[in-house]
Amino acid sequence: MLDSPVVPATAEGDTPSPAAASANPVAAPPAGAPRRSIAVISHPDAGKSTLTEALALHARAITQAGAVHGKGNRAGVVSDWLEMEQKRGISITSAALQFEVDGVVINLLDTPGHADFSEDTYRVLTAVDAAVMLLDAAKGLEPQTLKLFAVCRRRGIPVITFVNKWDRPGREALELVDELENRIQLRATPVTWPVGDAGDLQGLLDVRHPDDVMAYRRAPGGATLAEEERLTVEQARERWPDRLDHAADSMGLLPELDMPSFLAGETTPLLFGAALTNIGVRQLLEVVTTLAPPPGPREDVRGTPRPVEAPFSGVVFKMQAGMDPNHRDHVAFLRVNSGVFRRGGVYTHAQTGRPFATKYAASVFGRERETIEEAYPGDVVGLVNATSLSVGDTLHDPDGPAVEFPPLPVFAPEHFLAARVADPGRSKQFRKGVAQLEQEGVVQVLISEARGDGQPILAAVGPLQFEVASFRMENEFRAPIRTEPLGYSVARLASDRDAELLAGVSGVELAHRTDGVRLALFRDVWRLRGLQRDRPELELAPLLADAAD
């Protein structure tokens, strides 16, 4: 029952190998080394940031794993570096960590789990080639996990599944497997399998090493690597006679790993462990380096695939300010899609046709960064002080074929409030801060035709975005704001004809985004439907809805 196939190498000719004993974060990655670009996704509180920290620890990219709340003499996690993240204990913005493991460069993106920040998460998913879907052993598939998986499926992103918190009471392993297949039609193919029920984790079986069983001794507090003990099958059976046979029999009921079906999104490599105590994480890191696909062609706005061998091109998928507390810098996160990015190169900004100089370019590790000279497809480059760029912009080599990649999604906001500066003497800082928050995608900014630009409307997918905006306006821009909740929950695109028909109608407000698009805001969907019934000539096209809908 313990005989299982060995996990194959990926396409691209990479040789499977265990996680390296050394890694070098925030340093120039080796030229031509294989790349893997991975996002960690899950429902809130499933352990994404903790897992990201544990992966970095196992890659020797950090020497001690932090805790999400920074308790018990442990530092905070490297991916949650914003002050508000550290205070609230949740991920508010995505974070990038680049490190090398055994000759493979990993670009790992930790994402916010809360639905209020889903727009940031979905943008990150445009910049990766695979995802690690994290499941809570006690909760299984949760609402946000289902949405994120649907996005991965629609975008053709293969998913590796890691069942976390197996050191705590939870559900049966086969029950979780059945849920994956019944609810999202995803067949699990085990790579590791737990010896012992949830809350009673004794060790792990590994299909790649059928003659061995791994036992663990937890590190105090989980800040360092758990101690591993490799047992033979005979030794493991003596130690856990019933548990080992039960685990082997359960694992034997499931199909073997199949690369084509994994890459097609039909199956998922399945692993078990506990990120907080660093159990099972090494095996996950090995799977990322050996099974996750390398960067491939990306479709441009015309639907034509751009080969990775083509001249340089890349897309900005995230903007972030305040990474350096000593300087008010502004970093654009760019995913390299093709060719070789070279620092100092002057590239074409596809949206404007203007040249863009790349004097300041860095690899990123949480808040830390280091200047790089070159980057390759799959890499994430931090372009410092790139104030002329916005989320979704394309850069490309001016000497190669021009290319523009599809714009990133802008979701339909459902929450709105009017904002004004608390101190009129800080109006300049207020305008600058609001503009920067919009450029980063923290909130959408609308200028009401009735209120004017002195009282912009902040629009968001979820109300926590307003907390972030208010916190940053006060602490980063020193321009505290006063807000007035607006009783709208629906936005629609409004044509000139729509604006004429809606002028003066109660319960409706017209506003423009900074890109010139006019929106009509409605109290609720029933008010919208009533107006459409009374005025059938209204067009009112919907905005892009939730990407999983």
pLDDT at 370: 84
Q: Which CATH code fits 308-396?
A: 2.40.30.10
Locate the DSSP E strands across 389-495.
394-396, 415-421, 444-448, 457-460, 481-485, 490-493
Tell me: is residue 113 an annotated ligand-binding position: yes
pLDDT digits (tens, 9 = 90+) for 170-192: 999 999 999 999 999 999 999 99
Of 166-180, 283-297, 353-367, 482-496, least confident by mean pLDDT is 353-367
Instruction: Specify the 3-state DSSP secondary structure of 123.
Output: helix
In this structure, which long-range contacts are made by residues 515-521, counting pairs with CB atoms below 8 Å and at least 24 apart in sequence? Answer: 517/493, 518/493, 518/494, 519/446, 519/491, 519/492, 519/493, 519/494, 519/543, 520/491, 520/492, 520/493, 520/494, 521/416, 521/446, 521/457, 521/486, 521/488, 521/490, 521/491
Could you tell me if 23 and 99 are in contact, meaning their C-beta atoms sit under 8 angstroms apart?
Answer: yes
Question: Considering the chain, what percentage of its residues have pLDDT values greater than 90?
Answer: 57
Inform me whether the pLDDT recorded for 327 exceeds 90.
no
Q: Which CATH code fits 415-542?
A: 3.30.70.3280
Determine the Cα–Cα distance for residues 358 and 84; give it in Å rounded to an integer: 31
Inter-axis angle of helices 143-154 and 118-125, to 10 degrees? 30
pLDDT-derived band at 4, boundaries 50, 70, 90: very low
Amino acid at site 399? D
Locate the DSSP E strands across 146-226.
159-164, 187-190, 192-195, 203-206, 212-217
Locate the DSSP E strands across 75-146.
95-101, 104-110, 130-136
Report the topology of domain 34-291: Rossmann fold (3.40.50)
pLDDT at 219: 63
Could you tell me if 187 and 196 are in contact, meaning their C-beta atoms sit under 8 angstroms apart?
Answer: no
Tell me: is residue 462 an annotated ligand-binding position: no
pLDDT digits (tens, 9 = 90+) for 360-413: 898 877 667 788 999 999 999 999 888 889 889 999 999 999 999 998 877 788
Tell me: is residue 114 an annotated ligand-binding position: yes
pLDDT-derived band at 95, boundaries 50, 70, 90: confident
pLDDT at 324: 58
pLDDT-derived band at 331, boundaries 50, 70, 90: confident
* Closest alpha carbon to 539 in 483, 501, 504, 506: 501
Inform me whether the pLDDT recorded for 64 exceeds 90.
no
Q: Taking residues 220-247, report their average pLDDT.
A: 85
Q: Where are the domains of the chain?
A: 34-291, 308-396, 415-542
pLDDT at 26: 40
pLDDT digits (tens, 9 = 90+) for 124-143: 889 999 999 999 999 999 98
Quote the Cα angle for 266-268-271, to 5°: 170
* Distance between start and end Cα atoms, the chain: 42
More confident residue, 509 or 25: 509
Amino acid at site 330? H
pLDDT at 42: 87
Instruction: Specify the 3-state DSSP secondary structure of 54.
Output: helix
Of 144-148, 324-328, 359-363, 449-453, least confident by mean pLDDT is 324-328
pLDDT at 210: 93
Inform me whether the pLDDT recorded for 8 exceeds 50.
no
pLDDT-derived band at 46, boundaries 50, 70, 90: confident
Q: Hey, which of 261-270, 466-475, 535-544 has the most confident mean pLDDT?
A: 261-270
Question: 135: which strand partners?
Answer: 163
Q: Which tokens hold the place of 359?
A: 């004097």
pLDDT-derived band at 514, boundaries 50, 70, 90: confident
Inform me whether the pLDDT recorded for 309 exceeds 80.
yes
Q: Taking residues 232-255, report their average pLDDT.
A: 94
CA 279, 280, 283, 284 torsion-angle sign: negative
* Closest alpha carbon to 208 in 177, 251, 144: 251
* Closest alpha carbon to 465 in 531, 517, 521, 416: 416
CA 447, 449, 455, 460 torsion-angle sign: negative
pLDDT-derived band at 110, boundaries 50, 70, 90: confident
CB-based contacts of 121, cutoff 8 Å, min separation 6: 39, 41, 94, 111, 112, 113, 148
Inform me whether the pLDDT recorded for 21 exceeds 60.
no
Tell me: is residue 111 an annotated ligand-binding position: yes
Question: Considering the chain, what percentage of its residues have pLDDT values greater than 70?
Answer: 83
